[in-house]
Structure 1
Amino acid sequence: MKKIYSFDLFDTLVARGVNHPKDIFTIVGAVSKVNYRFIFFKLFSFRKIRVFSEKLARFISKKEDIDIYEIYKIINFFIENSKDILEVEIKLELHLIKPKLENIEILNTLKKQGEFLCITSDMYLPFDVIKKILNENNIFVNKVYVSSSVGLTKSSGNLFKFIADDLDVDLSQIVHYGDNIESDVNVPNALGCKGIHVGHAFHKNSNGFLDCFKSPIQNDVYYKIGYELCGKIAYVFSNNIYNNIKDNQNNLIFGARDSYLFKFSFDLFFNNEINYKTYYTRISRSLVYLPQCYYSNSYDVLFYETMSCENFFLRLDLECPSEFKGKSAWKYKNDIILFLRNNEEFNIQLKYKSSNAKTFLKENGFNRDLYFIDLGWKGSIQNSLDLIFNNELNVKGLYFGTTVNDKFKRGFAFNNKKPFRNYFYITQSLALFEFLFTEPEQSLGAVKVVHNKISPIFTNDENLNQINNRRKIELGAKQFLLDFFEFNNMFEINNEDINRSIQPLIYNHTMVVKDEIVSAFLNSSHSIGFNGSLKANLIEYSKLSIKGYLTAPWKAYFMHDLRKKSKIKYFIYRVFFHNVFFFIFYEYIKFFFRKIRALIYG
């Protein structure tokens, strides 16, 4: 007795590259110019109208299933150009569908054995579109049964009965493969067919246009977060850079290590028609630390953080004098400056190292007016560059976020901490966020002359395993950018939809604690000190106290852990500490403290 091998199509042999099937409607709304018949209809998103129209079309239909044309007859009541939007939706479906190779291999094995194969799908897309999907994904079968054409569904069991009658076989001769435990397994089994469960379609709700796009690799958390966060942030920020630069007369300096994805995205999307001069320059606070002192002729600039004298002299590559050991550099600032002024050997080295650093910078893009692009926050490197180059060139900063009020520094996600919500989301997880965007290389320590050429010297500030994990993040991020570049060439995207999706994208990856993220980054750290001297754990089990909260590297995780221990404490901390208002208040307290310290110690 011959067997009929039936395969479900969507989420079995092919899958959309989105988190939820309805994300297609969100994307259609973002890439289409929808002409609503009445202004009132604009209050609803296209997605809501599309979902409502499908429900209504199913309600009034006398068949078990409908096709997309019946849905758009309803949509036509709301939208004038419904025919154009229908074409966009079908085009989008075809573009976003990718093969599930492991299940196609099962089908191909049966095909080689000479078995009879058919597609059995509950789907509103018309028969000709289904055939095109099969051809484009190299899926070849004997027959295709689609609920939209037959008017019967798998979920009712009637589509399986129709297939048995059409092929003149008994239901027991049908073997069906599919991902849905009910319509692909339980229903056919109840009819006497053999239902085989292959895979599982995991759908989650997306929040905004960019959040819709799903990583093609889900079992590697590093690749996944690269694809679903870092690549998307890189695109949006590079788009913002493009919109903020006036012409190609200025160099664009992308500072290593935190802006490598921004440069990749900018060059890919925006550096084609206009030839911008872009550089990826290895620069760090340690590289510009001494040159800012030499070229400004001021030792005061060396004092900008609270530190011990031992750490201060370590930065200068000097042994700490005995009279300063165990003391605060700020408190003994004037005495230290006097010591440095009288140290002839130090000042010779200061001039030599500063000259090398400036030459290195000039050779790497710092030779005319420029935009300096980095992840951001205070923009301290830009301050040092201003001192080093003085009036030789103008430096304007373009950052993902800034915490200072400076007309020459512009932040995208937050500018001078505004909007405060974005500032809060990122700074409460600062070490983790910075780690995700750090190039998978060691950080720059200094430069030195090697064979008459100035070359960078890298620090050994983290282990190879961490760097390899960031390489996976890089792969995921760059794959998103390549995929989105292809998408961008096919569809015209509404910038408003892109910008609106930034805040929920950041929120979902910084404020929502996921077990896979905790497991992946629990034993990782990030270099936050000068020249990689200090480490910050990305995630750690903090003492459940106010001090523990303030020092926690990822405060959302602290709250996640606190909620397990005490819901009352969790509520109290949520009200008084873990919110935008406290973060801003705490930031201004720290700012006030620094001002007082500067007044006291000079």
Structure 2
Amino acid sequence: MKTSAITKKTKKKIVHKYYRWLEKKARLLQGTKWLLHQYKLKKYLDVCFRGTVQEFYDKVSQYDVISFDIFDTLVTRCVQKPIDIFSLLGLWVEKYYHINKNEFLVARIKVESDENKRLNGNATLDDIYHSLQSYFNISKEKCEKIKNKEVELELKYIIPRTDVVNVLSKLKKEGKTIYLISDMYLPRNVIDNILSQCGIKTDLYDKIYLSSETKKRKDDSTIWIEIAKDNQKRKYIHIGDSFTSDYKNPRDNGLSSILIANSWERYESSLIRYCKGIDRYDKIGDKVIKGLIFNKCLYNSPFVHKHSELDCYAYVFFGPLFLQFCNWLSESTKKDNINHVWFLAREGFYLEPLYNSFCKKKYLKKIITTNYILTSRKAAAIADMHSVDAIKEYLLNGGFVGTLDDLLDSRFGIVEASGSDKVYSLPRDLDKVMIALEPYKNKIYSNSKLQKKLYQEYIISVDPNFKNEKIGVVDIGYSGTAQYYLSNILDKKFIGYYFALSDNVRPEKNKQKCRACFFKSKNYQPDQNPWMLIESVLTAPKGQFGGFFEDGSLIFADSDKTASNKENLERFFAGIKKFIEDIFSLMSAETIVESNFSNGLALDLLKSFYWENVDIPQEVRHVFKVETTFNGGDGICKVFK
């Protein structure tokens, strides 16, 4: 028995050591691959053209004949990698022909590789689909429909690299001879349609070389041998994005060449990738998002190395997050059978129309009625100050530093001249503050009673049927304070929908439900978190809502600070709206569901913008500021110090 026990123990140790050895070897191999990748990337970027579009034009215009690679040089796709088109095709094939999407993706890649080996790299689209027909044992008619769908997707996702196309156009107008060259299985008619769609009409080039037609390729230099022979007496230069096919091979055959970085290589070397490892997200929606933000926006031009446009930053770093939130909100409210949604001020001012626009695109109609409700934690809390305990609870909701007069004004909406310049700090000085407030309690209670009455009248004027509706309230998050007080004021339960929540969710105390799109965490600190970025842009042209005057008219804080940022905020949300429109132009409404997107991608893009600042220019940074007097101070908190 003892020997057996020792043997088992020894075996366990051996197995444990073996797995430790395997892990170490895997890490070493992974590290080696990473170093090799970095070496190749550095080598690639070192020879890439670095300069302005004008400097690029000046350089290539010295030549008589200029040739351009097509894919990832003149045009690019709005997906992470070209094979992602096959993943999108797989979704369609699975739906209509019941072939597993992953099995189709693997088969599509394998068949193309096999056909290229069989035909020395010169497989055509027809060759590939003839083989796929046998692979899946489907009819010729079905196979033809799948092939046509692939072509349709290629055309749908293709966009020009605008600056490069403009250079080509300008060179042609100067009388230069222009060639287009591509190692590509797609047939000529499809390539012609792709080029035409991207603004490259037939009058902008003199000749096009496709490996599917010529049976000669760039990657094995067979096309360069022919071109070099045909252009011996003319100055010739080639432009492309592949180090071997477009840069090295032409030079090996006596031709000049310039390497320009494609969008993905620029991403690979960017701060964004190394901030949060964004390339680990690989759901199909993630791939389309990355295609849009990198290929269409950030790195579309090989000549722009730093952006200063606010709408560009909104598109890249905030568009995916708002898309994810709108998607989550639409699906969550449907599950909860919500028939009416209140978007709470000020966060709801831009969010409500954005959400309604999203729903119209996704469902082709407005599925849930919405209202923009004026509120703030200050205004809602003041209307619920009915006891000493209520006052204490309110004072502990967020810090404060200032005099008693400051406190009365910023927390209770009462303007007094106490004559005291003593500075209090909450929550540390709670007991002292309660003593100092003693002479003002009756005024606080009577004002609260009036505010509650006026608040109820305001809600009835905005949503007369609210008592009979199942209502969801939407806000940025934190503790759900506004929802908590609104429930007390209106004697109604809500379901709260938030970007993010702390673990101290106040509505749960009065038996309400709260849901968070991105996370709910006990370590959540809004003022130390990139959610301040969201709060800084989810605002309204008018200042913070402070409650009601006695005649029922509305009180707003000084709105000059917020109004001055209105033009910037409208540009910002135009960028977000453009991103969502682009997503819907590429993906069908039925595929824009939560399961096709990773929450982590949108969140990590936001975090990379906040924590690493991603080389943000000053004219963009100054837009991000939060206006509030709730905690004392001058009322402006800059997100980027």
Taking structure 2 as the reference length, what is the TM-score of the superposition? 0.68
How far 1:241 moved relative to its partner?
A: 2.3
Count matched residues.
522
The within-5 A match list for 1:109-128 is 109-128=170-189
Equivalence for 2:355 = 266
SS in 2 for 1:411: strand
Equivalence for 1:286 = 378
Paired with 1:359 and 1:260, the residues of 2 have a C-alpha distance of: 21
Paired with 2:519 and 2:614, the residues of 1 have a C-alpha distance of: 31
Paired with 1:437 and 1:31, the residues of 2 have a C-alpha distance of: 38
Equivalence for 1:159 = 223
The residue type paired with residue 63 of structure 1 is: N
- 2:330 matched to 1:242? yes
Match for residue 211 of structure 1 among 269, 279, 286: 286
The residue type paired with residue 244 of structure 1 is: S
Paired with 1:532 and 1:217, the residues of 2 have a C-alpha distance of: 39
How far 1:154 moved relative to its partner?
A: 1.7
- How has the CA–CA distance of structure 1 residues 503 and 385 changed in structure 2, closer, same or farther, with 3 Å as cutoff? same
Alpha-carbon contact 1:235-1:262 (below 8 Å) kept:
no
- How has the CA–CA distance of structure 1 residues 452 and 386 changed in structure 2, closer, same or farther, with 3 Å as cutoff? closer
- How has the CA–CA distance of structure 1 residues 326 and 426 changed in structure 2, closer, same or farther, with 3 Å as cutoff? closer
Match for residue 507 of structure 1 among 604, 607, 622: 604
**Deviation string, structure 1 residues 507-529 (Cα, Å, up to 9, x no partner):** 35426954525666877764385
Paired with 1:144 and 1:299, the residues of 2 have a C-alpha distance of: 77
Alpha-carbon contact 1:164-1:170 (below 8 Å) kept:
yes
- How has the CA–CA distance of structure 1 residues 269 and 504 changed in structure 2, closer, same or farther, with 3 Å as cutoff? closer
Equivalence for 2:475 = 374
- How has the CA–CA distance of structure 1 residues 222 and 524 changed in structure 2, closer, same or farther, with 3 Å as cutoff? closer
**Deviation string, structure 1 residues 128-162 (Cα, Å, up to 9, x no partner):** 21111012223123332122333322233222334
- How has the CA–CA distance of structure 1 residues 432 and 122 changed in structure 2, closer, same or farther, with 3 Å as cutoff? farther
Match for residue 438 of structure 1 among 538, 549, 555: 538
- How has the CA–CA distance of structure 1 residues 184 and 470 changed in structure 2, closer, same or farther, with 3 Å as cutoff? farther
Match for residue 575 of structure 2 among 451, 476, 479: 476
SS in 1 for 2:383: helix
Paired with 1:530 and 1:46, the residues of 2 have a C-alpha distance of: 58
Paired with 1:522 and 1:114, the residues of 2 have a C-alpha distance of: 45
Paired with 2:337 and 2:593, the residues of 1 have a C-alpha distance of: 23
SS in 2 for 1:270: helix
The residue type paired with residue 324 of structure 2 is: V
- 2:214 matched to 1:150? yes
Match for residue 240 of structure 2 among 178, 198, 208: 178
- How has the CA–CA distance of structure 1 residues 115 and 325 changed in structure 2, closer, same or farther, with 3 Å as cutoff? closer
SS in 2 for 1:243: helix
The residue type paired with residue 297 of structure 2 is: I
CA RMSD of aligned residues (A): 4.3
Structure 1, unaligned stretches of length 5 or more? 541-602
**Deviation string, structure 1 residues 295-334 (Cα, Å, up to 9, x no partner):** 9995455333354673532422344855986475522465
The residue type paired with residue 487 of structure 1 is: L
How far 1:238 moved relative to its partner?
A: 1.9
- How has the CA–CA distance of structure 1 residues 91 and 298 changed in structure 2, closer, same or farther, with 3 Å as cutoff? same
- 2:512 matched to 1:408? yes
Paired with 1:437 and 1:396, the residues of 2 have a C-alpha distance of: 24
Equivalence for 1:340 = 440
- How has the CA–CA distance of structure 1 residues 363 and 508 changed in structure 2, closer, same or farther, with 3 Å as cutoff? same
Paired with 1:15 and 1:164, the residues of 2 have a C-alpha distance of: 27
Paired with 1:280 and 1:221, the residues of 2 have a C-alpha distance of: 29
Alpha-carbon contact 1:171-1:191 (below 8 Å) kept:
no
**Deviation string, structure 1 residues 436-489 (Cα, Å, up to 9, x no partner):** 65247464142556998546445456795x776655542321111111222244
Paired with 1:517 and 1:283, the residues of 2 have a C-alpha distance of: 36
Paired with 2:623 and 2:74, the residues of 1 have a C-alpha distance of: 37
- How has the CA–CA distance of structure 1 residues 347 and 515 changed in structure 2, closer, same or farther, with 3 Å as cutoff? closer
Taking structure 1 as the reference length, what is the TM-score of the superposition? 0.72
How far 1:5 moved relative to its partner?
A: 3.5
Paired with 1:293 and 1:31, the residues of 2 have a C-alpha distance of: 58
SS in 2 for 1:33: helix
- How has the CA–CA distance of structure 1 residues 339 and 54 changed in structure 2, closer, same or farther, with 3 Å as cutoff? farther
How far 1:381 moved relative to its partner?
A: 0.6
Alpha-carbon contact 1:251-1:365 (below 8 Å) kept:
no
Paired with 1:497 and 1:125, the residues of 2 have a C-alpha distance of: 32
Q: Which has the higher helix share?
A: 2
- How has the CA–CA distance of structure 1 residues 494 and 387 changed in structure 2, closer, same or farther, with 3 Å as cutoff? closer
Alpha-carbon contact 2:184-2:212 (below 8 Å) kept:
yes
- How has the CA–CA distance of structure 1 residues 35 and 304 changed in structure 2, closer, same or farther, with 3 Å as cutoff? same
Alpha-carbon contact 2:385-2:445 (below 8 Å) kept:
no
